[in-house]
């Protein structure tokens, strides 16, 4: 799993998905047995579910790290490795 960040028991990952051009820019968040997919641009929960407290932490992190997430998305589309992003 290409881990991008880890904080408060939450693991953030990004994957190359084909065809990526048809996908909204997004990242995955895992907390225990819970998983959610979040939009990079607006932080919206696109799929899955996290407990409310962890969802709010992920949304706050996304707001602070949006530009770095977008850069990693572009790196993935170019088949390059992601760069670690600082935790919340």
**pTM for the model:** 0.92
DSSP tag of 24: P
Give domain status of residue 18, yes or no: yes
Tell me if 87 is assigned to some domain. no
* Model pLDDT, residue 30: 98
Note the pLDDT tens digit of each residue in 29-64: 999 999 999 999 999 999 999 999 999 999 999 999
The mean pLDDT of 58-85, rounded to a whole number, is 94
Whole-number Cα distances in Å, 6 to 2, 65, 78:
11, 13, 24
Contacts of residue 31, Cβ cutoff 8 Å, sequence gap at least 6: 9, 10, 11, 50, 51, 54
The number of folded domains in the chain is 1
Give me the domain span that covers residue 64: 3-77
> Is residue 35, in this structure, part of any structural domain at all?
yes
Residue 8 covered by a domain: yes
Report the distance separating Cα 34 and Cα 75, nearest Å. 26
Examine residue 34 and state whether it is found in any structural domain, yes or no. Answer: yes
């Amino acid at each position: 799993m290409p881990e991008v960040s880890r904080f408060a028991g939450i693991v953030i990952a990004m994957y190359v998905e084909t065809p990526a051009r048809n996908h909204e820019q997004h990242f995955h968040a895992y907390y225990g047995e819970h998983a959610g997919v979040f939009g990079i641009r607006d932080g919206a929960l696109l799929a899955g579910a996290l407990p409310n407290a962890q969802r709010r932490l992920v949304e706050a992190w996304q707001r602070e790290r949006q530009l770095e997430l977008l850069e990693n998305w572009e790196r993935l589309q170019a088949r390059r490795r992601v760069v670690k992003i600082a935790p919340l």
